Amino acid sequence: MNSAEHLLDGRSAAVQSAARDSATSWRHLDDLESEAIHILREVAAECANPVLLFSGGKDSTVLLRLAEKAFRPGTFPFPLLHVDTGHNFPEVIAFRDRTAGRLGERLIVRSVQDPIDRGRAKLKNGNQSRNALQTVTLLDAIAEFTFDACIGGARRDEEKTRAKERIFSVRDTFGQWDPRRQRPELWSLYNARLDTGENMRVFPISNWTELDVWQYIARENLELPSLYYAHPRRVAVRGDILVPINGMTQLDANEQVEERFVRFRTVGDMTTTVPVESQGTDAQAVVAETLAARLSERGATRLDDQTSDSSMEERKKAGYF
């Protein structure tokens, strides 16, 4: 038995008991919610022209509910922006438009295709992941609308690099993140002041985990794109990974396609987002599955983050959200 197996055995009891009991004790959600509302109100008060990045994904859907809690019955003091990769799932785009309409808030959509067409962004091939290319479109949109702050749904538990991210995170003139230049963040006294050309990224759900997000979705009864819940889907089984079959899937010669019950844990670029097997057809069931899950969100669902241990750090330094 190697050491990993040995340690996994030791902790399985803790995982199971957590799955049993945690659904009954969600008081921490009140604390996290109040903190996020406080952060959203600080952005609204201190930044001249903020924008909320809404992708139609679960994290930014939670952000919208938090914005309702912070500002209703008034309108949001910021528009919504979606950087559309052109590789989004159609269900997610439909959900995005329906949600913005229901809330009566202004939705701005800027497409990754635009800089590709104008030659500002280059693709190695047509089906390549467009995650990294979102950077160009985001920076263009920031310049077009002179946004000084972008509110996003990133969480510190997602990835090692994010663990050191500030709630108010300064990006330089080129949209780049420099870990050494980040401001110390004490108490809840956020410093939102900017030098000329600088831009602020604000992460109100920094302290939430994937489990917290799902518990909140269940508690608030939030609608999500149907992809987040178990459904039959044709996939190619590639090692531990289920590659969904769509117009852009490139199958190896001897790969078999089969139908499995799956759900997506993230719904980003169609070419790099893969589902997990699931029987979770509602938020409560997904909470239970998340408690039992033993693969990290990015490890299980993103093909691009497996490229190298520091791929996220490199993209963040280049201005990736």
Partner 1 sequence: MAPVDQEAGGGLLRFATAGSVDDGKSTLIGRLLYDSGTVPEDQIAALDRTAARNGESEIDLSLLTDGLTAEREQGITIDVAYRYFATPRRKFIIADTPGHEQYTRNMVTGASTADAAVILVSAQVGMTAQTRRHITLAHLLGVPNLLVAVNKMDLVDFSANTFAGVAASVAEFAATVGAEQPILVPVSAKFGDNVVDASARTPWYEGPPVLAALEGLPQASRRCADASFRFPVQLVRRVAGADGSQTRRYLGRIESGRIAVGDTIAVLPASTDTRIRAIWTFDGPLDTAAAPQSVALEVSDELDIARGDVLAHATARLRVSDRFNATLCWLADRAHEDAGRILIKTGTRTVAARLARVDHRLHGSALGAEPSPTALARNDIAQVTIQTASPIAFDAYCDNRATGAFILIDEATSATVAAGMIEDAVTCPTLAGT
Site for partner 1 in 249-308 (CB under 8 A): 293-296, 299-300
Considering only 24-32, 128-136, 142-150, 225-233, which stretch makes contact with partner 1 by CB under 8 A? 24-32
- Using the minimum distance from each CB to partner 1, give the nearer residue, 45 or 253: 45
Rule CB under 8 A: say whether 194 interacts with partner 1: yes
Of the residues 173, 188, 246, 307, which one makes contact with partner 1 according to CB under 8 A: 188
- Distance between CA atoms of 233 and 162, rounded to whole angstroms? 32
- Distance between CA atoms of 253 and 210, rounded to whole angstroms? 36
Residues 42-71 as x/- pattern, contact with partner 1 by CB under 8 A: x-xx----------------------xxxx
Of the residues 102, 120, 122, 193, which one makes contact with partner 1 according to CB under 8 A: 193
- Distance between CA atoms of 60 and 302, rounded to whole angstroms? 18
- Using the minimum distance from each CB to partner 1, give the nearer residue, 34 or 246: 34
204-243 binders of partner 1 (CB under 8 A): 206-207, 209, 211-212
152-171 binders of partner 1 (CB under 8 A): 156-157, 160-161, 163-164
Rule CB under 8 A: say whether 94 interacts with partner 1: no
Rule CB under 8 A: say whether 195 interacts with partner 1: yes
- Using the minimum distance from each CB to partner 1, give the nearer residue, 184 or 232: 184
Q: How far is CA 214 from the centre of its chain?
A: 13
- Using the minimum distance from each CB to partner 1, give the nearer residue, 189 or 253: 189
Considering only 34-42, 111-119, 223-231, 246-254, which stretch makes contact with partner 1 by CB under 8 A? 34-42
- Distance between CA atoms of 231 and 249, rounded to whole angstroms? 19
Rule CB under 8 A: say whether 41 interacts with partner 1: yes
Rule CB under 8 A: say whether 88 interacts with partner 1: no
* Cα Rg of the chain, angstroms: 20
Rule CB under 8 A: say whether 176 interacts with partner 1: no
Q: How far is the CB of 147 from partner 1 (least distance, A)?
A: 17
Considering only 6-14, 95-103, 107-115, 131-139, which stretch makes contact with partner 1 by CB under 8 A? 6-14
Q: How far is the CB of 46 from partner 1 (least distance, A)?
A: 8
- Distance between CA atoms of 44 and 51, rounded to whole angstroms? 10
Rule CB under 8 A: say whether 183 interacts with partner 1: yes
- Three-state SS for the chain is CCHHHHHHHHHHHHHHHHHHHHHHCCHHHHHHHHHHHHHHHHHHHHCCCEEEECCCCHHHHHHHHHHHHHHCCCCCCCCEEEEECCCCCHHHHHHHHHHHHHHCCCEEEEECHHHHHHCCCCCCCCCCCCCCCHHHHHHHHHHHHCCCEEECCCCHHHCHHHHHCCCEEEECCCCCCCHHHCCCCCCCCCCCCCCCCCEEEECCCCCCCHHHHHHHHHHHCCCCCHHHCCEEEEEEEECCEEEECCCCCCCCCCCCEEEEEEECCCCCCCCCECCEECCCCCHHHHHHHHHHCCCCHHHHHECHHHCCCCHHHHHHHCCCC
Rule CB under 8 A: say whether 15 interacts with partner 1: yes
Q: How far is the CB of 212 from partner 1 (least distance, A)?
A: 7
Tokens of 159: 């990835």
Of the residues 1, 73, 146, 256, which one makes contact with partner 1 according to CB under 8 A: 73
Rule CB under 8 A: say whether 246 interacts with partner 1: no
- Using the minimum distance from each CB to partner 1, give the nearer residue, 210 or 269: 210
Q: How far is the CB of 254 from partner 1 (least distance, A)?
A: 26
